[in-house]
Structure 1
Amino acid sequence: MMTLNIAIAGSSGRMGRALLEAVARTPDMRLSAALERTGSPYLKKDAGELIGSPCNIAIIDDIAAALPGSDVLIDFTRPEGTLAHLAVCRPLGVKMVIGTTGFSAQQKEDLKAASKDIAIVFAPNMSVGVNVTFKLLEVAAKALNEGYDIEIIEAHHRHKIDAPSGTALHMGEVIAKALGRNLSEVAVYGREGNTGERAPATIGFATVRGGDIVGDHTVLFAGTGERIEISHKAGSRATFAEGALRAARFLADKQSGLFNMQDVLGLRE
């Protein structure tokens, strides 16, 4: 059994610790590097101590020094940090699993350009369940293409900095594509005051932020006399970490290309 050497960016954060725990309990993976931002109080500490299991891998902020010897970097940080990491991974040939959200259109193009040289799995949500939900939404949207109003409601913890969530936006993109619409033309991101009647072709988004909610997403198809709701609720970040490791394993035999979790799970038509 081949062992994958995994580097983790943002290793002291909520997702970073979930990833450390997931790698520690996965037989075919080994932690090869743990990264944090410059100035982090966790620098030089043993990464394993964050999860109660010392591993002799020190947390450092020098990505160029950390990455040699790693097969895959898993990154759930912020767009600017991820792109800085990408600039180092690309010439070194280190593959990337990217769960960061909030990228601009140009930044997404930068990821696409880099995928000509290294293999990348980029997904707004690494959860296996969420990605099955994306497929269900595609089927539902095609069947409920007339007479149903579509609203997407998402809730996350108070620390999340982007809204709507990347997952909610991707849900909108999946639905819009299934209906032959352009999300940028039909999305409604907030309502206030005298808004007038709801335009039938729109896709609405509602955002909730509070407490320690890991991630709740519901898509409402509201018709005359009935409502269909498709929901996914995450109770632990472990589900995202396990999906990220599955994505890393998927990249093992890939040299280049830009993939998402639909590719990883074999759901792409």
Structure 2
Amino acid sequence: MAKIGVIGSAGRMGTALREAITAAGHDCSGGVDKGDQVADLADASDALVDFSAPAALKDNLHAAVGAGIPILIGTTGLDDTHHAAIESAAGAVPVLQTGNTSLGVTLLAHLVAEAAARLGPDWDIEVLEMHHRMKVDAPSGTALLLGEAAAKARGIELGANSESGRDGHTGARGEGAIGFAALRGGTVAGDHSVIFAGEEERITLSHSAENRSIFARGAVNGAAWLIGQPPGRYAMTDVLGL
């Protein structure tokens, strides 16, 4: 039984995480939110799960490093400075950062990479995602994860080869580009499709999340797996052994 602490415990994901920790037979060692002391939670835990906000990430990493425990980061909307902080912390403790903790999405990303590696640049790649009306970032962390999987498999940089926010007279689609489209509405937990469009044929790989509890269960699996791992940066694919 592991003691797992929740950062961002008052949110919807925080509630789902506390329930998933207990359901998995582990002990929820506590939760913190904006203004609370993360270091105290870290000292009482075997691992931390962070679904808070990008602005809090550096303090959360500092607390994990200070306590010498692993941390799983599911917070989305991260930029280059956040990833640099993650790399630094990963030199001292195990860190798993992902845009989606679902085991199903993890497998989907693996399949996307397989398809992208085998289909040439004449197959256009479009990533379509839909989330609930309250989501504040776009494209979603999961959409970027899927796009990154495709880009890496093709040996290209996603940032230099992506298209999003098309509106008006945009011109022809860039050859080899990876496109993103974001839809928002209702209470959708998360739908993602990766479309490979070739000459007169298409392949669509999709995943639908029916409840955010799937992300909580995956996060708990990932956090428990991190315990005992050597310092380093990990992904959900490591949890599944892919």
Q: Does the alignment pair 1:114 with 2:89?
A: yes
Change (3 A) 1:65 1:249: closer
Counterpart of 2:18, as a letter, is L
Identity level (%): 41
Counterpart-to-counterpart distance in 2, 1:117 and 1:66: 18
Counterpart residue number, 1:218: 193
Change (3 A) 1:66 1:143: closer
Counterpart residue number, 1:37: 34
Give the superposition deviation at 1:214. Answer: 0.7
Counterpart residue number, 2:223: 248
Aligned runs of 1:185-264 on 2, under 5 Å?
185-264=160-239
| 1:85 equivalent among 38, 41, 60 | 60
Counterpart residue number, 1:6: 4
Counterpart residue number, 1:174: 149
Alignment check: 8 A CA contact 2:57 2:82 kept? no
Counterpart-to-counterpart distance in 1, 2:202 and 2:112: 14
Counterpart of 1:14, as a letter, is R
Give the superposition deviation at 1:146. Answer: 4.0
Aligned-residue RMSD, C-alpha: 1.2
Give the superposition deviation at 1:193. Answer: 1.4
Alignment check: 8 A CA contact 1:187 1:202 kept? yes
Alignment check: 8 A CA contact 2:7 2:48 kept? yes
Counterpart-to-counterpart distance in 1, 2:91 and 2:174: 41
Alignment check: 8 A CA contact 1:33 1:67 kept? no
Q: Deviations 1:148-167 (Å, cap 9, x if unpaired)? A: 11111111112211110111
Counterpart residue number, 1:21: 19
Change (3 A) 1:67 1:147: closer
Alignment check: 8 A CA contact 2:121 2:176 kept? no
Alignment check: 8 A CA contact 1:168 1:217 kept? yes
Aligned runs of 1:66-81 on 2, under 5 Å?
66-81=41-56
Counterpart-to-counterpart distance in 1, 2:231 and 2:123: 41
Give the TM-score taking structure 1 as reference length: 0.87
Counterpart-to-counterpart distance in 2, 1:229 and 1:113: 37
- Unpaired runs of 5+ residues, structure 1, are 39-60
Aligned runs of 1:37-186 on 2, under 5 Å?
37-38=34-35, 61-186=36-161
Q: Give the match's secondary structure for 1:183.
A: coil
Larger Rg, first or second structure (1 or 2): 1
Q: Give the match's secondary structure for 1:204.
A: strand
Q: How many residues align?
A: 242
Counterpart of 2:97, as a letter, is F
Q: Give the match's secondary structure for 2:173.
A: coil
Give the superposition deviation at 1:255. Answer: 3.8
Counterpart of 2:34, as a letter, is R
Change (3 A) 1:146 1:103: closer
Q: Give the match's secondary structure for 1:164.
A: coil
Give the superposition deviation at 1:168. Answer: 0.7
Counterpart of 1:259, as a letter, is Y
Greater RCO, 1 or 2 (C-alpha within 8 Å, sep 6+): 2
Q: Deviations 1:226-252 (Å, cap 9, x if unpaired)? A: 111001110111111111111112112
Counterpart-to-counterpart distance in 2, 1:156 and 1:67: 31
Counterpart of 2:48, as a letter, is L
Counterpart-to-counterpart distance in 1, 2:156 and 2:92: 32
